[in-house]
Amino acid sequence: MANRHKESKSKYTEDRKYPGAFEGETVTRRRLMGLTVNAAGAATVAAAALPALGFAIGPLFSRVPFEWQPIGAPSDFPNDTYVTRVVTVVPGIGETGKSLAYVRSRNPSIDTEPEDQYNHFVALSSRCMHLGCPVRYTAAAGRFICPCHGGVYDFRGMRTGGPPVRPLDRFYTRLNNGVVEIGPRYSVNSELQRFSPRDPGEPLDGIGQYLYPKRFSTSVRPQN
């Protein structure tokens, strides 16, 4: 009966009859050079791709701590117009991390969303929810206007015209030891329901709130 067991192949190239093989050699020079070229190519791709990938996804997992910032006494903020305050939205990067907030006292006759400890004062972001351009409040018209692409918001920051996809973002506020303080930014939909901050151009009504999930770096909520 024939032996059905295959003979194991030798690990030496000379025994396997490779052209140009040397005694005691286990890898041909051609194969060694191929492996070396492939390894060098993989290292080059990794050196170029990994930093770019880290730069792209790193902010998704970063959590920048915030500090409540005092912005004035309650009497500084009327309920029929806005007062501007410069606030730090990204600490540690100087002027680049600062933004403008429009602040007023809550007016129960128009501010119909549920009241809690974080919205006794209304603080609106100056970033248009189209492409992030700065909006300006026009007191005579009681409107926020974006000069870039014609976005228009009413006195409460609700979109009334132009390309913006949602109301102006807001900041948490609180009254602490007689001083009004401003906290992190959050986004709202057309019913002023709160969401963790989204980027401009990301709607939050209907299916939009699921198409644009929150980022880890912007999921901060104030703590008591």
Q: Which residue has the higher pLDDT, 106 or 59?
A: 106
Q: 1 pLDDT band (50/70/90 cuts)? A: very low
DSSP letter assigned to residue 134 = B
Distance CA 106, CA 34 (A): 71
Number of alpha carbons in the 13 Å side-chain half-sphere of residue 125: 27
Nearest to residue 194, comparing CAs of 105, 114, 82? 114
Q: 219 pLDDT band (50/70/90 cuts)? A: very low
Rounded to an integer, the average pLDDT of 82-104 is 91
* 3-class state of residue 155 by DSSP: coil
Average pLDDT for the chain: 82
Nearest to residue 77, comparing CAs of 140, 145, 124? 124
pLDDT the model gives residue 26: 59
pLDDT the model gives residue 224: 47
174: left (phi over 0), alpha (psi -120 to 50) or beta: beta
Distance CA 161, CA 54 (A): 38
pLDDT the model gives residue 133: 94
Q: Quick: pLDDT tens for 121-175.
A: 999 999 999 999 999 999 999 999 999 999 999 999 999 999 999 999 999 999 9
Cα torsion angle, 204, 207, 211, 214, sign: positive
Rounded to an integer, the average pLDDT of 175-192 is 95
Nearest to residue 213, comparing CAs of 194, 189, 196, 188? 196
Nearest to residue 87, comparing CAs of 185, 216, 188? 185
| Res. 176: pLDDT tops 60 | yes
Tokens at 67, concatenated: 């500090």
Cα torsion angle, 93, 104, 224, 60, sign: negative
Query: What CA dihedral angle connects 45, 50, 55 and 57, to 10 degrees?
Result: 120
Rounded to an integer, the average pLDDT of 206-224 is 67
Rounded to an integer, the average pLDDT of 46-56 is 67
H helix and E strand count, the chain: 2, 11
Q: 56 pLDDT band (50/70/90 cuts)? A: low
| Res. 200: pLDDT tops 90 | yes
pLDDT the model gives residue 218: 47
Query: Which pTM value belongs to this model?
Result: 0.69
Tokens at 218, concatenated: 């912007």
Q: 185 pLDDT band (50/70/90 cuts)? A: very high
Q: 55 pLDDT band (50/70/90 cuts)? A: low
pLDDT the model gives residue 214: 72
Q: Which of 40-49, 58-67, 87-96, 120-129 has the lowest mean pLDDT?
A: 58-67
Rounded to an integer, the average pLDDT of 63-91 is 89
